Amino acid sequence: MSASYALQTRNLVKRFGGFCATNQVTLNVASGARHALIGPNGAGKTTLINLLTGFLEPSAGAVLLKGEEVTHLPQHLRVKRGLARTFQINRLFADMSVLESVTLASCEQLGLGARWWKPVGSHGEAIDAAAAVLQQLRLLDVAHHRTKSLAYGKQRLIEIALALAAKPSVLLLDEPAAGVPTSESRELFETIAQLPREVTILLIEHDMDLVFRFAERITVLVNGAIVTENTPELIAQDPRVKEVYLGEALDG
């Protein structure tokens, strides 16, 4: 039954002019999954995420969230229904403390409509919600630090915290370790991996070590189409996957 799936696509297609960036993609992400989407550069991973969030309109096919069709729903209404993605920390958040930033996002979620003339500290409920998110992401010890003063790995976690403040049931992560030194990326992934199972996670990640440590299910995308989907153990043995990545290793 579709209710056991947090996120699905059916024969999803996206064409840019004559070019097909998403080719008949049927993807089923189970509720509570730790699911990864991998594939070489240009495979169509980001395009697919953009179709899921509603940033892009598909040329054909359907997107379902918790079994309900959302194919033509605007982005903010998908967020309301529990779909979240991360965004880069903007200037405003960079100058605020970690707690203030996430509290502002929690105010939004609680419909408290934070205003600049109202001190963020005047919303106790939002502060509690933000602190709970910071605890989930092991960020309480830096709650009063300015966001921009933190190491890159922690900044990526704050982007995730801002997404979690919306209380999503599905979290989309597009290369969360991008720009993060390898010394920090492992801890970043360990923190993501221990998020509660109420949050389904679909991850795009280039680093295969991180993917294989994190994911329980892997979908391989090549030239816009799904080549295979399986457990990490079986994906690692798949000659087609080896071929795709060997080709890439030789290029790089």
Nearer to Mg ion, 21 or 164 (CB): 21
**16 contact choice in Mg ion, ligand ADP, none (CB below 5 to 8 Å, kind-dependent):** ligand ADP
CA 127 to chain centre: 24
Contacts of 60 (CB under 8 A, 6+ apart): 11, 12, 13
The distance of closest approach from Cβ of residue 130 to ligand ADP in the complex, given in angstroms and rounded to an integer, is: 31
**44 contact choice in ligand ADP, Mg ion, none (CB below 5 to 8 Å, kind-dependent):** ligand ADP
Which residue matches tokens 């996120």? 7
Of residues 19, 20, 87, the one with CA closest to residue 55: 87
Contacts of 153 (CB under 8 A, 6+ apart): 177, 180, 181, 184, 185, 187, 188
**21 contact choice in Mg ion, ligand ADP, none (CB below 5 to 8 Å, kind-dependent):** ligand ADP
Under the criterion CB under 6 A, does residue 23 sit at the interface with ligand ADP?
no
Residue 97 pairs in a beta bridge with 146
Nearer to ligand ADP, 49 or 157 (CB): 49
Contacts of 138 (CB under 8 A, 6+ apart): 157, 191
The distance of closest approach from Cβ of residue 174 to ligand ADP in the complex, given in angstroms and rounded to an integer, is: 8
Under the criterion CB under 6 A, does residue 153 sit at the interface with ligand ADP?
no
Whole-angstrom CA distances from 162 to 54, 88, 99, 139 are 19, 10, 10, 12
Which residue matches tokens 């989407």? 37
| Residues between 34 and 63 with contacts to ligand ADP, criterion CB under 6 A | 39, 41-47
The distance of closest approach from Cβ of residue 45 to ligand ADP in the complex, given in angstroms and rounded to an integer, is: 3
| Total of chain residues touching Mg ion, rule CB under 5 A | 2
Of 23, 31, 46, 59, which lies in the binding site for Mg ion, with binding defined by CB under 5 A?
46
**43 contact choice in Mg ion, ligand ADP, none (CB below 5 to 8 Å, kind-dependent):** ligand ADP
Which residue matches tokens 């189409």? 225
The distance of closest approach from Cβ of residue 35 to ligand ADP in the complex, given in angstroms and rounded to an integer, is: 16
Nearer to ligand ADP, 86 or 147 (CB): 86
Of residues 73, 94, 212, 86, the one with CA closest to residue 159: 86
Under the criterion CB under 6 A, does residue 16 sit at the interface with ligand ADP?
yes
From CA 53, how far away is CA 63, in angstroms rounded?
9
The distance of closest approach from Cβ of residue 111 to ligand ADP in the complex, given in angstroms and rounded to an integer, is: 34
Binding site for Mg ion (CB under 5 A): 45-46
Q: Which residues bind ligand ADP (CB under 6 A)?
A: 16, 19, 21, 39, 41-47
